Amino acid sequence: MSVRVVIFGGLMAIAAAGFAQAPTPQRPPVGGIGSPADAMIFYVARGAADACGQNCSEWIAAEGTVQWDTHKRLLAILDRQAGRKLPVVIHSWGESNLNVATSLGRILRDRGIDTTAGRTEVEACSGKGEAECFALKRPGGPLEAKMNTGDLTCDLTCVLLLAGGVHRSLPAGAKVIVSGMFIRNRLAPNVNDEQRESLTARFGEQFRLYLRDMGVETELLDIIDRNPEPRRRIELPPSEWLRLRIVTAASL
């Protein structure tokens, strides 16, 4: 078992190289001082009939990079739904904290939420800059929107979030592209070999436990581990999505 892991800011955390492109320029920080730009936000979107699937016209958009405090925003948006189980539509990008991503997945499973991936395009953002659009989304909606699944990539962060769904799907034409993970300590650049090996084993087992609990085949990690270059991309064809149980239904 040789899953590669990451340390951020002197604290053990896990991050992956994300391939989805972030909006340009970066969005403002979500929180106060020290809050990173592009951190994931959640807001309710609504569109035409079947906009987010059969008999689905309202959803929760999950948009951005998973950071250390992202779980707080997910819990807040779910608590505001008064028991409604709106599906979560994932659009992740950047180098995300995968420890937190698995925590988000467990929250989604505990709440009985379905998951898919796609880009939410808010009508009121048309013609507006990123900062102005972000200000519209930040309060949490609801906002009139439509789903865009064209040229969609689901990276490892997306896969881990997706795994938390009770029912999980990916749109036809989507690409699942994963890479290895890597160790980083922002405060101390070097991580000694002994610490790296210990963290590799610890986090590797945690990820396997998470995938087993979510009903996803742990072979997914074996595929990642066989990649000789941590940042090299591996595309999983749709036939593998079902076999590995990344999704629970065929693409629509």
Report the pLDDT value the prediction gives residue 181, as an integer from 0 to 100: 74
Q: How far apart are CA 118 and CA 231, in angstroms?
A: 23
**12-29 pLDDT, tens digit each:** 445 555 555 555 556 777
Distance between CA 152 and CA 211 in Å, rounded?
Answer: 23
What average pLDDT does the segment 76-103 reach? Answer: 92
Q: What angle (nearest 5°) sits at the alpha carbon of residue 180, between those of residues 177 and 183?
A: 145
Greater pLDDT, 99 or 232:
99
Token pair of 144 as six digits: 């009139």
pLDDT band with cut points at 50, 70 and 90 for residue 10: very low
Angle between helices 156-163 and 193-214 (to 10 degrees): 40
CB atoms within 10 A of CB 235: 10
- Average pLDDT value for the chain: 83
Evaluate if residue 41 carries a pLDDT over 90. yes
Q: Given a cut of 70, is residue 119 above it in pLDDT?
A: yes
CA angle (230, 234, 240) in 5-degree steps: 135
* pLDDT tens track for 184-202: 655 555 666 776 677 767 7
State the average pLDDT over residues 167-186: 82
Q: How far apart are CA 219 and CA 224, in angstroms?
A: 9
